[in-house]
Every structure is written in structure tokens, then in C-alpha cells.
Structure 1
Amino acid sequence: MDDAELERIRKARLEQLKAQGGGSGSKGGLGPDEQAQQRQQQEAEARKSILNQILHPEAADRLGRIRLVKEERATEIENRLIMLAQTGQLRQKVTEEQLKELLNAVAENKEEEKIVVSRRKGWEDDDDLLDL
């Protein structure tokens, strides 16, 4: 999928969203909460549309299963995939194997961020026994 095609799809979707927003905005019946909810729904639809274009069905299924267990990890992977697509670094649809590699890379980064606290036993612990 090339940049021109992605840009064309984004523009078409943006026009569609503007048309929907303009029609409902003229009614004046939407409050700020409803507008925010509608905007979130539109963003979710746009994300889903882009992901459908850049993922093979098997990869999309795997990402869906990951979302059931760890929603934040699935969102992080989706954000990375969308960023790669927007910058033109994806030349073809992402397969399930490529998605697994991306998941492993993210998991390795998460392991590096873990903090391990080790407590030393010393002479201070002996004093605790005397208080009994």
C-alpha cells in the first residue's frame, strides 16, 4: 500500500466524517459530552478502517485476542502499526508472523523497563527479633 493510496483514503474518510458532523451539527442538539463521544467513535472507526487495510485477517484476529487479555498492549501495537503505515514503512499487509515479531520486540522492551528491588538482610533484621 503506497502513501498516495493511504492519503486518498484518509481524505475520503475525513470528508465523510465532516459531512456527518456538519449534518448533525446543524441540528444543535448535541451537547459537549455527546460530541466527545461521537468524536471518539469516529476516531475508533478510522483506526479500524486503517487497521483493516494494513493487516491480514489472521493478524487482525490475533490482535483482537490480544486486546481481550491486554488492551493497553493491543493499543500500543495498533499505534505502532498505524505510525508505520502513515510514514510509508509498510510495503505490504502485515502477516501474523510479522505481528508476532513486533509483539516480541515490544515484550523485550517491556522486560528492560522492569525494576527489581532486592533487599539485603543485615544486622538491622536481628534487632527486630528482640522487640518480641
Structure 2
Amino acid sequence: MADADLEQIRKARLEQLKASQGGAKSSSASGGNSQEQAQQRQEQEAEARKSVLNQILEPEAADRLGRIRLVKEQRATDIENRLITLAQTGQLRQKVTETQLKELLNAMADNKEEEKIVVTRRKVWEDDDDDLLDL
């Protein structure tokens, strides 16, 4: 990844942090506009995330991530968080391709335990001794 791309990612993250800190300070000062400020801050964070993802994903990978989001919102968010973390720590050297995204999805699926529902049934035996007590 080029130095200019990394610098843009850093700037976007810095703006995101400033916005979240500034929003927290101003929302405590004025209680009337706190909902509007929270919504505005969320929109800014979403825009910053979208900007960073556009810089680190190839179009095919971004398209696949969008389709995943339609089916499983939380899984797409987890993948995005992982990608952003990798970009911020400098572990991404180039844009992520669709095959690399698939590998990341498989790796995260292997690490995540599937929720299982275990049904244990009590064994009920007919006991003839109960009949003898009624005598």
C-alpha cells in the first residue's frame, strides 16, 4: 500500500477519533441536541469507515462484502473491523482482493464457534414399584 494511502487512512481515523471525542464533550454540555449529535457522529464514523474500506478493498472484494452485509450484518461488520485494524497496523501491503477476502472469511469462520443447541432428554422409565404403593 502506498504511503499516500496510509496517510489518508491515518487522517480518516484521526478525524473519526476527534469527532467521537468532540461529540462526547459537546453532548454532555448541551442535553437538547444530544440525539442529533449522536446521529451526526454515527454518520461521520460510517463515512470514515466507508472511505477507509474504499481505499483498502478492490471493487470485487467490496462488492462481495456488500453482499455479505445483506445476509449477515454482524459478520460484515466484524470483517470490516478486522480489515480496518489490519490497515491501521500496516499489515496490508496492497489492496485486498476477492480471494484474500474469502480467505479472511474462512479464517474468521474457523475461529468462531458455531452456536449449538443441545437437547438433553430425561429418560423416563416405567416403574412398577409405584403401582405397589397404591395398594
Range class of TM-score, shorter chain: 0.7 to 0.9
TM-score by structure 1 length? Answer: 0.73
Query: Greater shift after overlay, 87-96 or 113-122?
Result: 113-122
* SS of corresponding position for 2:125: helix
**Conserved? CA contact 1:55–1:95, under 8 Å:** yes
Aligned to 1:100: 102
Structure 2 Cα separation of the partners of residues 57 and 63 of structure 1: 10
Q: Is residue 72 from structure 1 mapped to residue 74 from structure 2 by the alignment?
A: yes
Call closer, same or farther: CA 1:6–1:113 in 2, change over 3 Å.
same
Distance in 1 (alpha carbons) for counterparts of 2:115 and 2:59: 33
Paired residue type of 1:119: T
**Alpha-carbon deviation of 1:6?**
2.0
Unmatched runs of 5 consecutive residues or more in structure 2: 131-135
Residue 82 (1) aligns with residue 105 (2): no
List gaps (5 residues or longer) in structure 1: none
| Higher Cα Rg, which structure | 2
Aligned length: 117
Aligned-pair Cα RMSD in Å: 3.1
Separation in 1, partners of 2:5, 2:42: 24
Identity %: 71
For residues 90-129 of structure 1, the aligned pairs below 5 Å read 90-110=92-112, 112-115=113-116, 117=118, 119=120, 122=123, 125-127=124-126
Partners of 2:43 and 2:77 lie apart in 1 by 15
